[in-house]
Every structure is written in C-alpha cells, then in structure tokens.
Amino acid sequence: MVIVMEKHTSEGNVEHVVAELTSRGFDVHRSTGSDHTVLGVVGHVDTIDPREFELMEGVQEVVRVSEPYKLSSRTFRREKSVVKARGVDIGGHDVVVMAGPCTIENEAQVFETARRVAKAGARVLRGGAYKPRTSPYAFQGMGVEGLKLLRAAGDEFNLATVSEVMEISQIEGMLPYVDILQVGARNMQNFNLLSALGQIRKPILLKRGMSATIQEWLLASEYILSGGNYDVILCERGIRTFETYTRNTLDISAIPVIDKLSHLPIIADPSHAVGRRDKVMPLARAIIAAGADGLLIEVHHDPEKAVCDGPQSLYPDQFIRLMDELRIIVPAVGRGL
C-alpha cells in the first residue's frame, strides 16, 4: 500500500502517519519527491481500512499497489531513481558505460584494459574476482588480490568499480574495493544473499536470471529494497530461449517494460547476452536506442589470451568505435554520454 501525502504537507503530518503505521507493526519506506512525500507500507496491509488514513491530516490518497513488487514499482516512486556510485550517476541524463574484462587476471591486464576503456569514455570498470563458473575445473577468480588490482586501476584512471559477489561471506571483504556489487544471473534468486545486500549501503547491480520473468526479477530487487538499500540497478543480460546460435537471447523489450513498471535504473549486458564479439556492437546500439540507462560490456586488452569469455570480449579499438557510435545515438533518445 502507498500513502501519497498532499503537496508540501508539513513534516509533522508525515511523521504522524509514519508513527501510526509503525505502531501497528508495518514497515514504512519513505520516498521524498520534488512535490509529494510518498510512504510505502509493507506488511499485512489487508488489515488496514484505507479510510482511516485518508482522513488523517495531510494525506492526499491511499493506493493499494496491485503488483506483487512494491518498493520497486512506479506506484511507490513515480520519478526515476538515480543511483550514485563514486560520483557517477546511473539513471540520470547521461547513459553510463561500464566496461572491463570478464575476470581480473593480473596487474598488467587490468591496468591496460582500464586505461583503454577510460580513454574511450567508460565511467565504471568491471572485473570479476569471484567467478560463477559452469565447470568447477575452470578458473574461479583471484579473490581479494584481484579486487585490490581493480581498485588500484579504478583509482588510477578515475573509474568507479563493479564486481560480482557470490555469497554473504564475501560482502564485507569486498566493500573497501568495490563501488557497485554485482549479483550475477545465477544468484538472482539467492534470497539470503539479496537480503544481506539489503543491509549494506552500497549500490547493487542485479542481473536478470537466465530464466526469470520480469516479475520475478523485480521481486528479487524487492529483497534488497525492503532491507533499506534503495540503490539497485537492474541489468538485462539475455535469457535462455530455444535459439542456440547465440549464447542467450537479449530481451530488448525488458528495457521499456522495466522503465514503465519500475523507477529503478535499467542497463543491459550485450556481451553475456549474445556471447560473440561480432554481435556485441549492434546489440549495444540497440540497447541504448531502446532507452537503457547504460551498458555493461566485456573488453579485454588481448582477448585471445583471456582466461574467461575471450570470444565475447571486445578489442579496445572496437570499444572506441562503439563509444563513437553511441555518441551519435544518445542525442536521438534525449540523453548524453
């Protein structure tokens, strides 16, 4: 349930409504917009008679949220959310490009790739230190030593950093090095992990599960938001379909659909969606044309030697070309880069 307060109502009126709700055992999530304060009420709201609150001083209307996801919905927050990570705004006017290798391999690799993507205009450096590999015999990531390299390269080239967290025990150790914690497709419904990420105050990049519906994805985000961490960025990364030519199928329609249903920033990852470098650039252009707030792209300074996902990693020169193309597309959709 959502309680919309009257335009510019007094703080006292808002506090009075919040106090009444909390005394009845409900969780209240407050969203202060430019005009209205909106209160998201979570709990067994069926027991509430909306008229009781409609009659309270300063209340404009009481709306039952029909969607199962609440805090991520546009009903709770009409304006788009902007997530801030080390001075980078995700969901604002400019689209944000996050780029870097699939996995951190060594100092030379991460620094050289970071240098090239930063020069081309990327704002966030990606690189996995804990890798969810399909095979237990494949490289599993460098762990904290890798994160130290990621942070150092980010600092050197003025890039924020994003890296995947696979389990609760890794969260604490990642915080000093990472500006955005990524939840991978395979963990989208790891509800204990999501709840733990709701307790920290750092942006979370929540990838869509490879067979998750949009509703399941938004409900997953709800686990983080309901803990009080409102800085969630959604990332479409391709879903499993009957098509075998590409690694996954990019669900481009998810971008305008999410934009309608949710205030959360939505970006997309063409690299894991298509799985081959020769198709990454057209998909990236389509993602931005469809209205996404950004991209997550695998780039490697020497993809032939990449330990992981080399065939889908762009060469730095391709990444430069892509950024030039995006500079032509963004004004057409009312954005900057």
Positions touching ligand PEP (CB under 6 A) are 102, 128, 132, 164, 184-186, 207, 237, 269, 272
Residue 322 binding: pick among Mn ion, ligand PEP, none (C-beta 5-8 Å cut-off by kind)? none
The DSSP line for 215-273 is: HHHHHHHHHHHTTT---EEEEE--B--S--SSSSB--TTHHHHHHHHB-S-EEE-HHHH
Q: Are 104 and 150 in contact (CB under 8 A)?
A: yes
Q: How far is the CB of 208 from ligand PEP (least distance, A)?
A: 8
Q: Are 8 and 35 in contact (CB under 8 A)?
A: yes
By CB under 5 A, name the one of 309, 314, 316, 322 that touches Mn ion.
Answer: 309
| First-to-last C-alpha distance (Å) of the chain | 37
Residue 126 burial class via C-beta count within 10 angstroms: exposed 0-12, middle 13-18, buried 19 and up:
buried
Q: How far is the CB of 291 from ligand PEP (least distance, A)?
A: 20
Q: How far is CA 169 from CA 192, 195, 247, in A?
A: 11, 13, 30
Question: Count of CB atoms within 10 A of residue 278's CB?
Answer: 11
Residue 185 binding: pick among Mn ion, ligand PEP, none (C-beta 5-8 Å cut-off by kind)? ligand PEP
Binding status of residue 258 toward Mn ion by CB under 5 A: no
21 or 122, CB closer to ligand PEP?
122
| Segments in 41-103 forming alpha helices (H) | 50-54
Binding status of residue 164 toward Mn ion by CB under 5 A: no
Please name which of 132, 118, 135, 101 lies closest in space to residue 306, comparing C-alpha atoms.
101
Binding status of residue 293 toward Mn ion by CB under 5 A: no
Q: How far is the CB of 168 from Mn ion (least distance, A)?
A: 22
Binding status of residue 102 toward Mn ion by CB under 5 A: yes
Q: What is the DSSP code (8-state) at residue 22?
A: H
Q: Which stretch binds Mn ion (CB under 5 A): 55-63, 99-107, 172-180, 220-228?
A: 99-107
222 or 269, CB closer to ligand PEP?
269
Binding status of residue 232 toward Mn ion by CB under 5 A: no
Residue 132 binding: pick among ligand PEP, Mn ion, none (C-beta 5-8 Å cut-off by kind)? ligand PEP
Binding status of residue 4 toward Mn ion by CB under 5 A: no
Q: How far is the CB of 127 from ligand PEP (least distance, A)?
A: 9
| 3-state SS class at 102 | coil
259 or 298, CB closer to ligand PEP?
298
159 or 308, CB closer to Mn ion?
308
Binding status of residue 306 toward Mn ion by CB under 5 A: no
| Distance between CA atoms of residues 134 and 302, nearest Å | 23
Strands 83-85 and 88-90: antiparallel
Q: How far is the CB of 3 from Mn ion (least distance, A)?
A: 43
Q: How far is the CB of 331 from ligand PEP (least distance, A)?
A: 29
| Distance between CA atoms of residues 60 and 101, nearest Å | 50
What is the contact surface with Mn ion in residues (CB under 5 A)? 102, 309
